[in-house]
Amino acid sequence: MEHAAGNPFPGPFKTGWFLLQFACIYAVLHALYFAMPDRVLREDVHYYGIVAPGARLIKLLAPSEQVVAVEGTLQSPHATLNIVRGCDSAGVAFLLIAAVVAFPAGWSRKLGGIVGALALTYVLNEIRVVLLYFVASYRHDWFSLLHNYLMPTFIIAVSCISFAWWAAWSALPRRSDAGPALEDLAL
Domain edges within the chain: 13-170
Q: H-helix or E-strand containing 83?
A: none
Looking at per-residue pLDDT, the higher value among 17 and 54 belongs to 54
Flag whether the pTM goes above 0.75.
yes
Instruction: Identify the sign of the CA torsion 15, 19, 20, 21.
Output: positive
Q: How confident is the model at residue 172 (pLDDT cuts 50, 70, 90)?
A: confident
pLDDT at 183: 47
3 state DSSP class of 136: helix
pLDDT at 8: 54
Determine the Cα–Cα distance for residues 130 and 43; give it in Å rounded to an integer.
19
